[in-house]
Each structure stands twice: as structure tokens, then as C-alpha cells.
Amino acid sequence: MKSSGTALRLSIFVGETDRWHHKPLYSEIVHRAHAAGLAGATVLRGLEGYGAANHIHTTRILSLSDDLPVVIVIVDAEDRIRAFLPQLDELVAEGMVVLDPVEVIRYVGRGAAEG
């Protein structure tokens, strides 16, 4: 079964070594999103990138970086995403937060749709 609808995509760009109380910042964001009941969150580790400091971070052997770019992606209803934003104000000191309207197409197996 296929279902669809509109939603908001929240993308949070931070560094892999960014911390919140001695634990990875991306992990704290995911745990708070889970506690807030958001639909789901995915952490993606970048192979190469740069940000405000204009320093390129890469996984290439000759210039290994210990601070690769990380993006946390969360998609949910607009009101739920907007209600979560104040938590990011507390957590993200350096980084970028992007909101995009998206159309969600979800494929649900027959067993999941019946239950």
C-alpha cells in the first residue's frame, strides 16, 4: 500500500566532534527527537565538506579529518517539527538548520497496513 502527504524536512548540519555534555551532539539530537515523538531521524556522515570556518574536512587518506560533517535528517508534520526547533536553539552553537517542505510517499507492507 502507498500513502502520501505533505511534511517538513528538518536538516541539521553539525561537525562530527561537536559535543553536548561529553556525548556526540548528533546523538543528543536524535534522542531528543525520539523523546519528542517525531516520526524518525537519520544521521548521515559526510565524506567531505566545509562550513563557516572555510576549512575542508575529508576522509581522503592524505588529509584525514577527525571532524567530518554530519547531517541529521528528520521528517514529520510541520507543527511537530516547528515545536522541536526550540530544543535546537539550546543544542546547536555552531551549525546550520534547514527546513524544506516535502511530499512524503510511504510504502507500507500489507501486514503493517492491516494491523
pLDDT in tens, 47-57: 777 766 666 66
pLDDT digits (tens, 9 = 90+) for 66-102: 678 899 999 999 999 999 999 999 999 989 999 999 9
Domains and CATH numbers, the chain: 2-114 (3.30.70.120)
Q: Which of 75-79's residues contact partners 24+ apart within 8 Å by CB, and which partners?
A: 75/7, 75/8, 75/9, 75/10, 75/39, 75/40, 75/102, 75/104, 76/7, 76/8, 76/10, 76/38, 76/39, 76/40, 77/7, 77/8, 78/6, 78/7, 78/8
